[in-house]
Structure 1
Amino acid sequence: MLNALAFLIGLLSLIIVIPSQIPLLGWGNWLALPLVVTGIVVGALSSKDAGRNFCLVIFVVAVIRLMLGGGII
């Protein structure tokens, strides 16, 4: 059950992260990061790894985008 919840949290944060890849919308990644971290924690409490790994991939994409944009853009 927790794995499915982590996957749903990951999907919600993915909906925020995808448009945030456009220039000048990188601030959306700052909104998505707490949600992704919540998904990682919920996924870590699960007995399966799929939800946690999905959230980790989204986290890496958001962080790399923030680093490329200098944290703001």
Structure 2
Amino acid sequence: MNILSILIGLVTLVLGLVAFVPFLGWMNWLVIPIGIVGAAIGAVSTAKSGRNLNLVLIVIFAIRLSLGGGIF
């Protein structure tokens, strides 16, 4: 389960990096729920690295979303 959580975190990271481009901030509305799913899967695992990766990504992309006003 931890490996699956890490893989979801890596997909979230790649999509989130695309969302850092100006005028693509709306993609964070798609990226954050993917990270939440990854964190939930990581919470089931005994290892914590996948869960922590997804939680950090959720926080970073939520901050980016709030700085862009929710759209940009």
Determine if the TM-score, normalized by the shorter chain, exceeds 0.5: yes
Scaled by the length of structure 2, what TM-score is found? Answer: 0.96
Rounded to whole Å, the distance in 2 between the matches of 1:4 and 1:13 is 14
2:10 paired residue number: 11
Structure 2: runs of 5 or more not aligned: none
What is the aligned partner in structure 2 of residue 65 from structure 1? 64
CA-based RMSD of the aligned residues comes to 0.6
Counterpart in 1 of 2:31? 32
In the TM superposition, structure 1's runs of 4+ consecutive aligned residues that sit over 2 Å from their partners are: none
- The number of residue pairs the alignment matches comes to 72
Percent of aligned pairs with the same amino acid:
46
Structure 2 match to 1:56: 55
Residues 38-49 of structure 1: pairs in structure 2 closer than 5 A: 38-49=37-48
SS at match of 2:22: coil
Unaligned runs of at least 5 residues, structure 1: none
Q: Which residue number corresponds to residue 22 of structure 1?
A: 21
